[in-house]
Every structure is written in structure tokens, then in C-alpha cells.
Structure 1
Amino acid sequence: MLFDRLNEGGPFFMYPLFFILILLIILIVKAFLQKGLADKNISLISSIALFAIVWGFLGQIIGLIGAFDAIESYGEVSAEMLAGGLKVASLAPVFGMFIFLVGRLGIIILTWIKKD
């Protein structure tokens, strides 16, 4: 199911997002275990989470441009085909937003438990 969605959303954008999610989870766990480098880890997690959301929206824009080119060359398009294309174009930004929220939640927890 997960890999079907990754392929459906465009492997060029979805698989890097999947690896970014894994990297982000590893960094959050590492930050919990390493107490001394909290500021560096928080900054890195923040940057990677922001990259994920921007990468997802970049995938959507490129996908929509391709879809609009296809619609322009094809002519009339059914509502079902348009809805399917919009769904596919929305998968990468939704996944990017999910990754961003995971990163932000990790930052919130790390900041909360950080000892000054």
C-alpha cells in the first residue's frame, strides 16, 4: 500500500521524501540519545523538514505543469481524469507536509526536554 502510493505520486519526488522521513526519524532518535548537541540537531532537523515540504511542493508544481501540457495537447478532459491528476499531484506535497510535521514535533519535544 505504501509503495503503491509512492509510485503513484511520482517516484522521482516520493522516494527521496521517503528517505528524508527515515533520515529525520534517525536524527530525532539520535538527538534524544545525545544530550550535548541538541542545538545542532534541532537546526539540522528543522532544515531537513523544511526541505521536505519544499521538495513536495516542487513535485506538485512540476506534475501540474506536465498535466496542463497534456490537457492542452489532448483538448477536452473528463472530470474523472482531471480529479485523478489532481490527486496524484497532491500526494507529494501531502507527504512533504507530513514529514515537516514529524520534524516539527521532534523539535518541539527536543526543545521541551532540553536542559540549558
Structure 2
Amino acid sequence: MKDLFNMGGPLLMGILTILLLAMIAWYVVTFLAYRNGSEPKAALAKLSHGKSLGLFAMIMGILGQLIGLYQAFSAIEGAGDVSPALVMGGLKVSMITTIYGVIIYLIALIIWLVLSVMVGKSR
């Protein structure tokens, strides 16, 4: 797992991890505020912000892939002739940030769905 983190680029993978932690913290704080007497309607509105953080993480993952592809294509252009296996290896590495971003977004959707149902049931 640490190898994938480093291969994906510590900067963007670090940003994605910070977004994941911020999203989870947002959900926890919002749900605890609801449990302590916050309005259900306000809690549902605030829960959707966590989903937006997950979407932002997915977009950052795609941006990371595009930056990686640009760097790879620049290196290929400078090198001239490269093997297809090398190009495919670069594509594989560039997908790491996108996959991580999509996983974060799926986690955000699952948490949002579960908490929204819990808040909606008690209305």
C-alpha cells in the first residue's frame, strides 16, 4: 500500500488522503451535532457537503492522472523511441490517483447514504 502511495506521487496522494480524513471528520461532526439536537433538515443539508468533499477528491485524482500523463508524454517526446511496455507502465502508474479518488468518492457516497437514512428515519 505504501508503494502505491509513493508511486502515485506523495503530493497528490497526500492531498487525497487529507481530503478523505476531512470528509470523514465532517460526517462525524455533522452526525454528532444532529444527535445532540440539531435540526434533521439542517443535518441532511450539511451531510451533502461531505459528498461534495468526496467528489472533489475524485476530481483531484483525475487531475493527478492528467498531470502524470502530461509528464509521461513529455518524457516520451524527449526520448523519441520507447517500448510499448514502458508506455503501458506509465499509464498504469498514472491511474493510481484516479483510482484512489474514485474510492474516496464511493466511500463518501456510502457514508452519506447510511447517515441520510439514519437522519431521515428519525424525522
1:29-44 map, 5 Å: 29-35=28-34, 36=38, 37-44=42-49
Q: 1:65 aligns with which of 47, 62, 70?
A: 70
- Higher mean C-alpha displacement, 28-37 vs 85-94: 28-37
CA distance in 1, matches of 2:4, 2:31: 31
CA distance in 1, matches of 2:63, 2:100: 12
CA distance in 2, matches of 1:24, 1:9: 21
2:73 match: secondary structure? helix
Q: 1:54 aligns with which of 51, 59, 73?
A: 59
For 1:36-61, what per-residue CA distance to the aligned partner results, in whole angstroms no more than 9, with x for missing partners? 25224312202211110000000101
What one-letter code is carried by the residue in structure 2 that aligns with 1:79?
P
Indicate whether 1:79 and 2:67 are aligned.
no
Total equivalences in the alignment: 115
CA distance in 1, matches of 2:51, 2:21: 15
Does structure 2 retain, via aligned residues, the 8 Å contact 1:9–1:91?
A: yes
In the other structure, the counterpart of 1:93 is 98
Give, in angstroms, the shift of residue 27 of structure 1: 2.1
What one-letter code is carried by the residue in structure 2 that aligns with 1:16?
I
CA distance in 2, matches of 1:64, 1:48: 24
For 1:85-106, what per-residue CA distance to the aligned partner results, in whole angstroms no more than 9, with x for missing partners? 0111000010000000011111
Larger radius of gyration: 2
What RMSD in Å do the two structures reach over aligned CA positions?
A: 1.5
Q: Report runs of 4+ in structure 1 exceeding 3 Å deviation.
A: none
TM-score, structure 2 length as denominator?
0.85
